[in-house]
Amino acid sequence: MTGDDPRPIRVAIADDHPIFRDGLRRLLEIEADLMVIGEASNAEAAFELAVAAKPDVLLLDLAMPETSGIQALGTMPEFTRATRVIVLAAAIDKEDMVRALVRGARGIVLKESATAVLIEAIRVVMSGRYWVVREPVADIMVTISDLQTGIANRQAPHEFGLTEREREIVGLIVGAAGNKEVADLLGISEKTVKAHLTNIFDKLGVSSRVELAVFAIRHGLHT
């Protein structure tokens, strides 16, 4: 249950280990505000479950056979996006964290974590925020920027046909500025900012501010 909503949070579990699924189900169902409504042993079954049962939260194993959790995130149909996905991982590096978040994960939790951490993560993502490993995240673009720092083998800076003004806007977006803040800082209208962003998205082949931030950091466009 969240806030004044009396309904329990409907959770689905996707993991290829039956013992893990069974144990996790038992632990979650102790909580009065959580209800496990289905289980899946692979990515395909997880998709079918998400479509049929429409869980509020899908706990998705990172290392399932055939299709990994990250690969599965990238191919989830658009109509399942209302389901908030939390990736469960025995271990995960920064690059896979970024991939998971960019592909739509709302949370990342290590399997070694205490049950209380996972339960809190579920409640946090249901409140509209993100959860990354140990704590809630208010600004996901700042978190992705921090994760990208230190990732090796970033490509050399490249202009990608961006104008000087477009690069200014990219830098501000990476810094988590909203459209109004960008407009105020650059002395232009929000409508102009939106037009520039449309052009930037087209030139870089991205479709969201998060993807833009990741692309910019990876290619050195934010400096």
Please check whether residues 45 and 154 belong to one and the same domain: no
Domain presence at residue 128: yes
Instruction: Give every strand in the sheet of 84-89, ordered side by side.
Output: 34-40, 9-14, 57-61, 84-89, 107-110, 130-132, 135-137
Nearest to 134 by CA among 29, 198, 143, 31: 143
Please check whether residues 206 and 98 belong to one and the same domain: no
Distance CA 95, CA 206 (A): 18
Span 204-212, average pLDDT: 82
- Tell me which of 93, 110, 138 is where a domain ends: 138
Domain presence at residue 60: yes
pTM for the model stands at 0.65
As a whole number, the mean pLDDT across the chain is: 82
Which pLDDT belongs to residue 194?
Answer: 92
Distance CA 131, CA 106 (A): 7
Please check whether residues 209 and 190 belong to one and the same domain: yes
- Tell me which of 138, 159, 190 is where a domain ends: 138
In the chain, the number of structural domains is 2
Query: For residue range 210-223, what is the model confidence (pLDDT) as tens digits?
Result: 778 777 776 777 55
Please check whether residues 171 and 134 belong to one and the same domain: no
Distance CA 100, CA 31 (A): 27
pLDDT reading at 58 higher than 90: yes
- Tell me which of 138, 170, 190 is where a domain ends: 138
Query: For residue range 182-192, what is the model confidence (pLDDT) as tens digits?
Result: 999 899 999 99
Query: For residue range 144-167, what is the model confidence (pLDDT) as tens digits?
Result: 777 766 554 444 446 678 888 988
Please check whether residues 59 and 129 belong to one and the same domain: yes
Domain presence at residue 76: yes
β partners of residue 135 = 132
Q: What is the CATH number of the domain that holds 166?
A: 3.40.50.2300
Please check whether residues 155 and 134 belong to one and the same domain: no
Which pLDDT belongs to residue 171?
Answer: 85
Distance CA 144, CA 74 (A): 17
Domain presence at residue 199: yes
Distance CA 166, CA 40 (A): 45
Domain presence at residue 3: no
Domain presence at residue 1: no
Domain presence at residue 188: yes
Domain residues for the domain of 126 are: 9-138
